[in-house]
Structure formats: C-alpha cells, structure tokens
Amino acid sequence: MCGIVGYVGSRSVSECLLEGLHRLEYRGYDSAGIAVISDGEISVRKKAGRVMELARLVEEQPLFGNIGIGHTRWATHGETTDANSHPHLGGNGEVVIVHNGVIENHDSLRNQLIALGYVFHSQTDTEVAAHLMAHHLSEQLKLNSDEPCVDTCLRAVNLTLDRLKGTYGICVMFRDCPDTIIAARSGSPLVIGVGKNEYFLASDSSPLIGCTQDVVYLADNEVVVLNATGMKIAHRTTGRVQPSIQTLDQVSADIDLGNYPHYMLKEIFEQPTSVENAMRGRLDEGEATAVIGGLNLTAQQLRTFDRVVLTACGTSWHAGLVGEYLLEEFARLPTEVEYASELRYRNPPISDRTLVFSITQSGETADTLAAMRECQRKGHPTLSICNVVGSTIAREADGGIYLHAGPEIGVASTKAFTSQVTVLSLLALYLGRMRHLSYPAGKRIIKQLREMPEKIEEALKCHERVQEISEKYAHFNNFLYLGRLYNFPVALEGALKLKEISYIHAEGYPAAEMKHGPIALVDEQTPSVFIVPKGGIQPKVISNMEEVKARRGPVIALACEGDKEVERIADDVIIVPDVEEYLQPLVCAIPLQLLSYHIALLRGCNVDRPRNLAKSVTVE
C-alpha cells in the first residue's frame, strides 16, 4: 500500500527513483511520481497509471539531479488523477513531500490553511501536510532568519508533525536546502539504506536490494535527516538516537522473476523450498519436539498459559484458523482466532494466562500492529509469526517466530500461507510436547512434517490439469468453496484467492453448513469446489457433494488418487497427495492457488497487481 523511495548521493537520481518505484509496484498503487531538486528548483513529474507511464513522461521531460523522492499512490482521499498523485508541493513550491498513511484531521487543517490564503490543487490529505509545512517554514524564517537552513527546515517538519493526527511515513525536501532529505514515521514503515557517501530511503527493503546491504529501520516517532555526507536520527520526544545498522540478507535474485511469467506463479512453485526453510533447524528428533527460538519465554512460563489468541487479517487469519485446530488437537490449548481489525476496538476478557500471537507476512499490517499494541498495553505477552525481518511487528513483539519464506512479491499471498501453517504446526508440536503429547506421537509428527516438501512437489504436478479445468470454468461468475475441519480454512483461502485476482464472487463455507442457507445459490451456473481428500469425515463431505449434484451444480473436487466415489460424483477431479488430515492444508492450498491464477489469466486480469488491493495494508 503506497510506496516511498528517496535518494541523495552522486547517482543520476531519476533512474534510481524509477527503478525503486518499479520494485514497489507489488504493493498495489494507482499512480506514481517523482520530485528532483536541481539548479535551486524543485521539479515534479507525476502521472496516474503505471510506473512505466511515469517513466515515459520522464523520458519526454527529463529531470537531472542527485537528490529526489518518489511515490506510488494507493488512493485513500481523492480519485486517481494526475493532480492527486504524489509528490505534492507546498506553499509556492518551497516544499515537496510524499506520504504514506492517513491524516485524520485533514479537513479542519485544510480549512485553516485556506483561510490563510493557501490554494489547493488536489483532494488529498497529503497536500494539507505540504502547505502546513510551508506555513511553518515561513513562520520559522521570520523568527530565526539567521539559523542554519537544515535546523529551520527540521523545526518546520516537527511543528507540522505535532499537528497531524493519524499515521504517516513522510519524506520531505526543501527548495532552499537542496542537499537534504528529512523523513519521519508514525505507524507507516520507512527503511534507510546506508551507502558510501549516499543514502537511500524506502517504505520497505525491496528497492534497496542490490544497492546496499546496510539498512536502518526507522522506528515510530523518529525523524531522520539525510545528506550525502551523513545521517542523523532523533526521537521526537526523547532526542538523539544512535542508529542500529543491520545487514539486509536478501539478494537481487530473491525478487527477480527468473523464468516465470508472474511472481504469483513463481511463489506458488517456491513452496516446497519455503516450507522446508520454515522447518530448517526446528525439528529435534531426540526429544521428539520442535525447536522454537525467539519466543523469549521459558518452558516453565509457557506451561502456565491455558489459552491462546491468534490475531491476523486476510490470508494470515485463515492460517490462524488452521492453527486453532492444530493447537487444540496437539497442545490441548483452547484457542481463539480474532480479526485484528475487530480485536483492536473490542475489550474482550483476556486473562494473564492467555498467550497472544499476531500473524502477519509483512509485519506492517496496520490493524494487526494496533491489535498487538493494545494487547501489550494491557500486559499480555504478545508474540508474532512474521516473515519480514526488521518489520515493525517483528521489532515490537515480545518475541516471535520468523517464517523464512523469502520475499513475497505477488499481492495474493501464497507461500506465506503455507509457511504460516507450517510454523503453526511446529508451535503445536512444541507446546504439545510440553503438555500431553507423547514421545511416539511427536516422532510421528516430525516424520510427517519432514515429508511435506516432497508432498508439496507432488501436489504441484496438478498444474496442467488445473489449467484444463480453468478453461472450462473461467466464464462463471460465482463459486462456492467447501471443506470441513482442517480444510474449512482452506476453503476460505481458496475463495479469497479467486476473489482477489479474478474478481469473481466466491464464498467459502464448512461443507455441512451449505444446507443451512448457501445451497440456495446452487445452480448450473455456480460451480462448487469441494476439498475432499481421505479422512475420517470424508463420507460426510461426499454426501454434501451429492446434494449439489442433485441440484445440477457443477462440482470440482480435490481428492486423493484412486478415490472412485469422488470420481463418480464430481465433474472434474484434481489429485492431491494423501497426507495426514492436519497437514492437508499444505497440499490442498496448492491447486486452489493455481486455479485462481489460471482463471484470472483467462479473464485478462493482472494476477500480480490486482485492482484496489495492496500487498501490505498500512492504513486502517
């Protein structure tokens, strides 16, 4: 959701900014722009549409210089137009800013600035901040005309931030301080790349890969001043901060497409590796348990908890539902899964013997972060299951488990889901062995987990069959996804994937709930996708399939090879490997990801950058 890039150094800044914006396209956006300072003036180029259209504009109207900022916008205030695109100028062009987040009091500030004579050219909340900064700069120059320019500009920034309510990641340049970028964050991430006599700035690490390996993650309420010769960071209330420089452990190959046409397909096929990486070094054969480092709680402390709350959004919430089944079955711990967007505003009774986990791929999801902070405020140990090292949630959680899935660029999450389910399986094994799970049972689980990368490879062999089925069903506009127990969350996830990237209406349900209402939707134009591999409850799901067929509904079934009963009923069957029921989400998710991918392609949709969606939702 929205992306920021910035650069100060000796490179050609336009090329640097455009490359960074290209790498941020996966976050979801509807317009893009850059601003450069050259010959004492701020020049802006911005355009509604894709980054390539901005690049064409810059080619026609070149910008030269060594300092600049750029932005990809995901509309919150105002339609998708050139005027509403970032960057925004303030005053008479003495200030230019880009901004991620939402300024909640922008209406009242706008009215105050209009009364002072400021003229607005957009509908955005960001232009309010630009004019407000120009106003405070003017006031400071009247009071401190002899003060060094950087100090004056910094004071104008801080005075502006004092008046903003909401969230922001903000990046500012001043016409009369042409060698400096000032940036600040509160609730919206910013990462600084440290080079030799040059500095980079971005809303996540992807634009920095290949440019530098040294990064600094800006924390909430910190402000950074950057020029080619140095970096100064200060907390807005506590003062100067000694930056902690960390090493970026990604390489450019991690974000390259390779031989794949789309990131989504690449990431689907990376899942044997990402699941293996999630387990690497975390299985202890001798003790028949998992090795979970980073929780920052002793075994004795963990045994005192008698309840678990998992909180997340979207795909991560679906993974949490699988985690609920896992933790209750193997650890015998009552578990609840809460939408983070609801938990942050509720006041549920959570005892001091409740362990809270936030689940997130990006580590920056605004609702999940707010829910985690609310739980921490009330004194509950709050841990995270997260993919991005150095993200806000990873840093602020009391402890946690990394997924090690590598960068996930496609907006529709694929390998993060299976990695989250894998980590939750490890967590259930770990907590289970502390409580009721026997040694032989732990050994069996470890053996079955070790087989999963190979089983996922086997599941991926359905690719050609899924392509064929997609051609048959791509013209339908409504789908039902149905599964039970561990496969109910998979049904929800499969429906979400189809909605996200093909814009088809799809709903996921427990198969038995179909006859309590959704069966009214069944007709010849509504395919039902049944997840029905072998298991104790399979006959019940087969009975639900019969009910759909009796009403002439088309049926696609995920089933194990040689299942004659399913083959007799279903119109089309996709074969999945035969694994234990608690591991079925890891193999059943694969064909559903591929089904949504191919249907979206056949309908002419952009699978990596679906409309209206963002990879990391950093605003409420």
Residues annotated catalytic, as ranges? 2, 615
Two tokens, residue 471? 């051609």
How many CB atoms neighbour CB 440 within 10 A?
Answer: 9
3-state secondary structure labels for all residues of 259-305: CCCCHHHHHHHCHHHHHHHHHCCCEECCCCEECCCCCCCCHHHHHCC
**Who contacts 301 (Cβ-Cβ below 8 Å, separation ≥6)?**
none
d(CA 40, CA 42): 7
d(CA 513, CA 490): 15
Using an 8 Å Cβ cutoff, are 107 and 66 in contact? Answer: no
Using an 8 Å Cβ cutoff, are 33 and 86 in contact? Answer: yes
d(CA 292, CA 281): 9
With tokens 């829910």, the residue in question is 371
Q: End-to-end alpha-carbon separation of the chain, Å?
A: 11
* Burial bucket for residue 64 (CB in 10 Å: 0-12, 13-18, 19+): exposed
Two tokens, residue 65? 């210089």
Helices (H), 537-616: 538-550, 564-569, 584-602
- Residue 560 amino acid letter: C
Using an 8 Å Cβ cutoff, are 372 and 311 in contact? Answer: yes
Using an 8 Å Cβ cutoff, are 532 and 564 in contact? Answer: no
Would residue 611 be called left, alpha or beta, if left means φ above 0 and alpha means ψ between -120 and 50 degrees?
beta
**How many helices (H) does the chain have, and how many strands (E)?**
20, 27
Two tokens, residue 239? 């003062």
Q: Which of 481, 468, 470 is nearest to 529 (CA)?
A: 481
